[in-house]
A and B are shown apart, each in its own frame.
Chain A
């Protein structure tokens, strides 16, 4: 196999001591920024670009790859232990992961996240190596109509997150959708719900809402409940790492999460968040004990974590094969390619083969390095929970505000953060689930933009959603997901 031989050469390039060092620098820095909300891989690579100009391209890209994966790992760590997602791709992880941590299974949650990410990253990188052209063809089949149908399908996942009261769950969804409305309207460029505040023109950032609802809302809530404050959290209960039972329950979600995440990453408007929603939904539906979800079901960590890492690998498919950036980080990587006078696209594999295969090999190496670093550290990380609560929450708020301020060096974002935090506090106090709000915020603006784009192209003819085969198929699946459970319940139970 031609690709295989080239990959081996790639390993030879990547496995030099100096490049291994760059990989280590990348994953370490990545883990660090992943922990911080607001500061993601895109911003970091952008800030590092001028520094790396003098570096040779192979070393620089190996470092960036490590950084990209490292950020995902770091972010899941804070999601699980502190209920504070550092990147939007690991918001779902916090739902079950933090519950596990509270029950003394934090190390197991970290382990299943690390191994799941490793499995997904490795399979994803292999798919990238061998099947990139196929996924590229799939990616450009998706136009606005197809994306809208996909968003409709993704919205159905909200049904698994509604919690005990449907009204409260839907209220939370509406609040998230409302946050997503503000800012410059993408299709017409007109200001909407900005109330004359220039800083509102760029809209309310997902990070501000996620950090506000999770970290700030949680801190305010914990402060209000003296009984919870004084409760002791056991960092580890039972075995330090995953039990046999936890392994058994993890491996299928890893694979399913990978299968969901990779194609989404390859889609130009896919992203890392939606596959994590879908994976969570799928695991809850497939689980034999769905009642455990919300109380620390390991499947709810394993699946979404695999999904977000596989999506990261997927993002590289259109980037390397077509020069098509599908995420903010990919766009910055594209700029990095250009800095070295490399033009991604079909020619890249022929013109700069060693570099590309070196980069792909470095993805494998970065994954192994992260696994090796994180598994032993999981036992250490959970000790974070042993930090006295006052110091822990003081630290969480210092880093949350630091991250949010860095989004655009604006104190206005801190005002928003506080307001959203108060909303998060009220929601927690009155049992409103927080996750639907996040889904609404992320999916709402995308769904609206794609819906209106599709109708703009068709000049107002709404039949596009049903005449495009992919769009129709997705809508039918969404309808089945919503209606089937109700229909089955209505059918008279037949005894055989």
Chain B
């Protein structure tokens, strides 16, 4: 597939940009020419989404990277366009979230945290990324599963990974939530105590129990995926899906996953479309109960 344009709905350097560039590199390595990455940053990716749905409609050589964060951003920004309007191509990768407390915290285990949430949800200040983002969604899901009052969830959004990390390490919040790899170093060095991972089962090389095995029935992956504009016919959709399928099954892609420590969550075509719907329903519900969405 030549002359493909991949939109990264964020600035250079972030996860979506890296995903777009890695995919472009892998496709170029297998002989495709003229593949470009275009950065359209802003508003949790909804600026890029608006461009994809409005201006790129019906164009068979455009794709856009997206992710769980965009699902939340669409809702909180009251965006006029949503992912249901796009042509789903595939979910590519993902990362699991980790819940931590500072090493000196009196909260020793997930059970301690659950007990606190159940007793008085408002006293547990969670620190994490942007409002309505993956970290916030997980905080809501955990509070709900723990039997707490989700409407009283005390979530403190920080701008930039460093600020949230500092707030957790300094004990300014009770617990912190982030993608695992971002805080892996501090967990390894013992400055942070990891209570649980949001994966469905234990992950190789990560010695942290899952939420599920500790009795909190929640799993959440911060997935990244790729979609195409609306208005494509079946042949055009199939061509894009096949191109991505070939790229994802190449050795070059496996090398990228290993290098970047991304978890392979490849889920192609219509199954990914169904996942989008399910995630949208789940995120809508939790954001409604924490009051971010009407």
Contacts and interface: CB of A to CB of B under 8 A. Distances in A.
Asked if A pairs with B, the answer is yes
Interface of A: 42-43, 45-47, 49-50, 139-144, 184-191, 198-199, 201-202, 268-269, 318, 322-326, 328, 330-332, 335, 338-339, 343-347, 408-410, 449, 453, 456-457, 459
Contacts of A338: 181, 260
22 contacts: A46-B12, A184-B77, A185-B131, A186-B157, A188-B292, A191-B78, A198-B46, A199-B42, A269-B166, A322-B165, A322-B169, A324-B165, A326-B162, A331-B160, A339-B259, A343-B185, A347-B185, A347-B188, A408-B40, A408-B41, A409-B41, A449-B159
Contacts of A409: 38-41
B101 to A, nearest CB: 14
B171 to A, nearest CB: 8
Contacts of B47: 198-199, 201-202
A322 B154 contact: no
B159 A408 contact: no
B184 interface: yes
A277 to B, nearest CB: 20
Given A324-B162, A325-B162, A347-B189, A141 B39 contact: no
A43 B12 CA distance: 7
Nearest to A323: B185
A170 B186 CA distance: 44
Pairs of residues from A and B, 3 with the lowest C-beta to C-beta distance, nearest first: A143-B172, A189-B131, A46-B13
A191 B50 CA distance: 16
Contacts of A459: 122-123, 154
A417 to B, nearest CB: 16
Contact of B186 (A144, A187, A345): A345
Given A198-B50, A344-B185, A345-B189, 9 more contacts: A143-B172, A189-B292, A268-B165, A318-B166, A323-B185, A324-B166, A409-B41, A453-B158, A459-B154
Given A189-B132, A201-B46, A322-B186, A331 B161 contact: yes
B104 to A, nearest CB: 11
Interface string B26-54: 00000000000011111110110010000
A33 to B, nearest CB: 13
A318 B125 CA distance: 24
Q: Is the interface of A mostly helix, strand, loop or mixed?
A: helix
Contacts of B191: 322
Contacts of B173: 457
B200 interface: no
B166 A139 contact: yes
Contacts of A144: 156, 167, 172
Contacts of A46: 11-13, 17
B76 interface: yes
A408 B42 contact: yes
A332 to B, nearest CB: 5
A456 B11 contact: no
Interface in B51-89: 72-73, 76-79
A41 to B, nearest CB: 12
Contacts of A50: 21, 25
A202 B42 contact: yes
Contacts of A453: 156, 158
Interface string B128-160: 001110000000000000000000001011111
Given A144-B167, A189-B130, A202 B43 contact: yes
A45 B43 CA distance: 23
Interface centre among A140, A186, A190, A328 (most CB of B within 10 A): A140
Interface residues of B, number: 54
Contacts of B158: 453
A46 B20 CA distance: 14
Given A186-B159, A191-B78, A202-B47, A42 B13 contact: yes
Contacts of B162: 268, 318, 324-326, 330-331
B213 interface: no
B266 to A, nearest CB: 22
A185 B157 CA distance: 10
A318 B132 CA distance: 28
B215 interface: no
A186 B46 contact: no
A428 to B, nearest CB: 31
B183 to A, nearest CB: 8
Contacts of B78: 191
Nearest to A202: B42
B131 A323 contact: no
B112 interface: no
Contacts of B130: 186, 189
Contacts of A139: 166
A328 to B, nearest CB: 8
B166 A268 contact: yes
Contact of B188 (A43, A140, A185, A343): A343
B172 A457 contact: yes
Residue in A189, A199, A324, A409 whose Cβ sees the most chain B Cβ within 10 Å: A189
B41 A202 contact: yes
B77 A140 contact: no
Nearest to A145: B172
Contacts of A347: 185, 188-189
Nearest to A326: B162
Nearest to B102: A140
A142 B165 CA distance: 12
Contacts of A187: 131, 156-157
Contacts of B11: 43, 46, 408
A335 B169 contact: no
Nearest to B167: A143
B163 interface: yes
Interface string B163-202: 1011101101100000001001110110100000000000
A142 B162 CA distance: 13
A325 B122 CA distance: 29
Contacts of B72: 189
Interface string B244-260: 00000000000000011
A453 B155 CA distance: 9
A479 B123 CA distance: 32
B131 A188 contact: yes
Nearest to B187: A345
A201 B43 contact: yes
Contacts of A185: 131
B200 to A, nearest CB: 25
B42 A189 contact: no
B83 to A, nearest CB: 16
A433 B193 CA distance: 50
A91 B250 CA distance: 49
Given A43-B12, A198-B46, A457-B125, A189 B157 contact: yes
A266 B169 CA distance: 15
A141 to B, nearest CB: 6
Given A143-B167, A144-B167, A409-B39, A325 B160 contact: yes
B163 A269 contact: yes
A69 B77 CA distance: 37
